[in-house]
Amino acid sequence: MPRIPDIGKRRIVIIGGGFGGMKLAQSLKKLDVQVVLFDKHNHHTFQPLLYQVATSGLETGSIIYPLRKKFEGHKNFFFRYGEVIKISPEKNEIETSIGHLHYDYLVIATGAATNYYGMADIEKNAFPMKTIEDSIALRNRIIRNFENALLAESEELMNSFVDFVVVGGGPTGVEVAGALAELRSHVFPHDYKELNLKHMDIDLIEASPRLLNGMSDEAGEKAKQFLEDLGIRVHLNKSVKSYDGYTVTLNDNTRIISQTLIWAAGVAGAPIAGLKEEAVVRGNRYQVDEFNRVIGYDNIFAIGDVAAMITEDTPRGHPMVAQPAIQQGKHLAKNFQYILKSRPMKPFKYKDLGSMATIGRNRAVVDIGKFKMQGFLAWFVWMFVHLMALVGHRNRVLVFINWMWGYLSYDKSNRLIIGESGSHTLEIDKHRPEATI
């Protein structure tokens, strides 16, 4: 038992402290209920900027925020650091890594997990971009690759270290590709003077005919132009068939040699065991009604990426991005007010606030309704929106300072290998018992 006292109030248990879960918990502050938030991390992660941690642009602590600190002034709020393993709806109970807990209302806000589409070799060898740990691991790999490239005794091996393949032409894919290109242009030539950075290739693979699906055609075309201007090779209508950690094989049997494949090609919902199989639909998401209530249950709700509200307007559910989760969390809090007053709930209506992506310094694309922009102004809007969306004043200040320093100096100061010792260095040449340094 997670030792949460029974205070005689109805208990709302929220699973997941991402955008949706955190907004819901915040919006329940004045409601006369007990709120319990479970998460397997003790912090909220601002996922849109994970790629900047991975490419040395931001410090790790700039985009995460302690959940307990966020809710320290909330009465009748409890946070528990643990993983929810199973839901027992017949008992109104969840089974967690720290014990069992009863709920009156349950809200599943577990977000999404990386979708490898059943390709085990990709899952084993590629680098995802979903958690802060993923970003640190990728940053370690990028910098360690260049250290190893200095020791490589063949041109092919050296190229395998300094070449990068990014899979997925959505915002994450184009943003990480653009950031790698900036490292190639402004940072690594100073750090690794012995290497010819002309050998550093960046390939972006997208299975569809265009980039940034979900944004306008103008945004997709401009993003492609920006990437190619940065020297990135964009492959459209191509997908990855296999990857063994060294050779990337595409569906047309094209082969690319690289020891780093960054997977930004898709996500799927992260449901929890225990609910009926028919409640989970395409994309591994819970089908919910217009009130975000999981189909087949009266007191279990789902919001954000793990929820699929299927309507005529949204036949695949809402986009798996931050805004639907935030809006659903806020709206569900209002519906809990109606529930406690025995009043009918109101249906959720999503307000599309626009989409945006940045492709490096002074390059971005923004779609806000009919208003579309590209270039420097779009880049400035992108920075402002992301800065204001960060959790915590300290984080906003730190990110602003890092961005301004990087803009003025063309430098990325967080080029650190953390959590690894020299014994974890990659093998320089598997075919030689000794390598000459």
Residue with tokens 């007990």: 34
Active site residues: 175
Is residue 206 within a helix (H) or strand (E), and if so which, with residue range?
strand 202-206
Q: Residues 348, 328: contact at Cβ < 8 Å? A: yes
Radius of gyration over every alpha carbon of the chain, rounded to an integer in angstroms: 23
Q: Are strands 364-368 and 355-358 parallel, antiparallel or unpaired?
A: antiparallel
- Backbone φ, ψ for residue 189 (5° rounding): -60, -25
- Backbone φ, ψ for residue 365 (5° rounding): -130, 140
Q: Which two tokens stand for residue 259?
A: 């020891």
Q: Residues 262, 130: contact at Cβ < 8 Å? A: no
- Single out the residue of 164, 160, 111 nearest to residue 139, CA to CA: 164
What average pLDDT does the segment 267-293 reach? 96
Q: Residues 87, 273: contact at Cβ < 8 Å? A: yes
Please give the pLDDT value at position 425. Answer: 46
Please give the pLDDT value at position 424. Answer: 42
Q: What is the pLDDT of residues 102-152, one digit of tens each?
A: 999 999 999 999 999 999 999 999 999 999 999 999 999 999 999 999 999
Judged against a pLDDT cut of 90, whether residue 413 lies above it is answered with: no
- Single out the residue of 212, 225, 116, 235 nearest to residue 165, CA to CA: 235
Three-state secondary structure along 333-401?
A: HHHHHHHHCCCCCCCCCCCCCCEEEECCCCCEEEEECCEEEECHHHHHHHHHHHHHHCCCHHHHHHHHH
- Measured between its terminal Cα atoms, the distance across the chain in Å is 57
Q: Residues 122, 240: contact at Cβ < 8 Å? A: yes
| Domain 11-114+267-340, CATH number (from 1.10.3720.10, 3.50.50.60, 1.20.120.790, 3.30.565.10) | 3.50.50.60
Q: Do domains 11-114+267-340 and 123-265 have the same CATH topology?
A: yes
- Single out the residue of 247, 249, 310 nearest to residue 282, CA to CA: 310
DSSP 103: -
For the chain, what is the largest distance between any 2 Cα atoms, rounded to a whole number of angstroms? 77
Residue 125's alpha-carbon distances to 44, 57, 142, 269, 422, in angstroms, are 27, 24, 14, 22, 21
Q: What is the pLDDT of residues 362-373, one digit of tens each?
A: 999 999 988 999
Please give the pLDDT value at position 421. Answer: 54
Q: What is the pLDDT of residues 55-83, one digit of tens each?
A: 999 999 999 999 999 999 898 999 999 99
Edge-to-edge strand ranges of the sheet holding 11-15 = 77-81, 34-39, 11-15, 105-108, 300-302
What dotted CATH number matches 123-265? 3.50.50.60
What average pLDDT does the segment 386-393 reach? 94
Q: What is the pLDDT of residues 212-240, one digit of tens each?
A: 998 999 999 999 999 999 999 999 999 99
Q: Residues 366, 378: contact at Cβ < 8 Å? A: yes
Domain ranges of the chain: 11-114+267-340, 123-265
Residue with tokens 């040449």: 429
DSSP 429: -
What average pLDDT does the segment 367-382 reach? 94
Query: d(Cα 336, Cα 33) in Å, to the nearest integer?
Result: 10
Residue 100's alpha-carbon distances to 6, 22, 68, 91, in angstroms, are 14, 22, 21, 11
Question: Model confidence at 411, in pLDDT bands (50, 70, 90)?
Answer: confident
Torsion of CA 305, 307, 312, 315, to 10 degrees: 60
Q: Which two tokens stand for residue 393?
A: 């004043």
Cα 77–chain centre separation = 27
For the chain, the 3-state helix, strand and coil shares in percent, each to the nearest 5, are 35, 25, 40
Half-sphere exposure in the Cβ direction for 395 (13 Å, CA): 19
Cα 109–chain centre separation = 14
- Backbone φ, ψ for residue 366 (5° rounding): -135, 130
Q: Are strands 233-236 and 202-206 parallel, antiparallel or unpaired?
A: parallel
What average pLDDT does the segment 431-435 reach? 43
Please give the pLDDT value at position 1. Answer: 56
